[in-house]
Amino acid sequence: MSGYEISQNLDCKGMRCPLPVVELRKAIKNLSTGDILKIEATDQGSKRDFESWCRKTGNSLLESSEINGVFTYIIRKEES
């Protein structure tokens, strides 16, 4: 989980579905193409939700990992 130049951090810890994707959408709108967003979440469903969100919106999920119940995602904003 290193080597990326993070443009913005988004803390979704404690949020339940559907809040993390709603916050993710809000955050990504304010970024420019190529910007990297790092998100931390604790919702167990967020892994599949974030994969689906990226697939449907055309953004790239570069990495995802889990440590002690905290999921970390690295997403790159692609041209919309």
Partner 1 sequence: MSETKKMAIIVHSGTLDKLYPVFMLASSAGAIDLETHLFFTFWGLDAVKKGGLENAKLPGVMRLGTGMMKNKIKGIGVPSLPELLKMTRSMGVTKIYACSTTMEMMDVKKEELIPEVDAIVGATAFLDIALDADIQLFI
Which residues bind to partner 1, rule: CB under 8 A?
14-19, 21-22, 24-25, 49, 52-53, 56-58, 80
Q: How far apart are CA 61 and CA 77, in angstroms?
A: 9
Q: In the annotation, is 17 catalytic?
A: yes
Which lies closer to partner 1 via its Cβ, residue 1 or residue 60? 60
Report the C-alpha gap between 41 and 65 in whole angstroms: 11
Q: Which of 30, 45, 36, 18 is nearest to 74 (CA)?
A: 36
Q: How far is the CB of 3 from partner 1 (least distance, A)?
A: 28
Which two tokens mark 65?
């990992």
- Least Å distance between CB 24 and partner 1? 7
Residues taking part in catalysis:
17
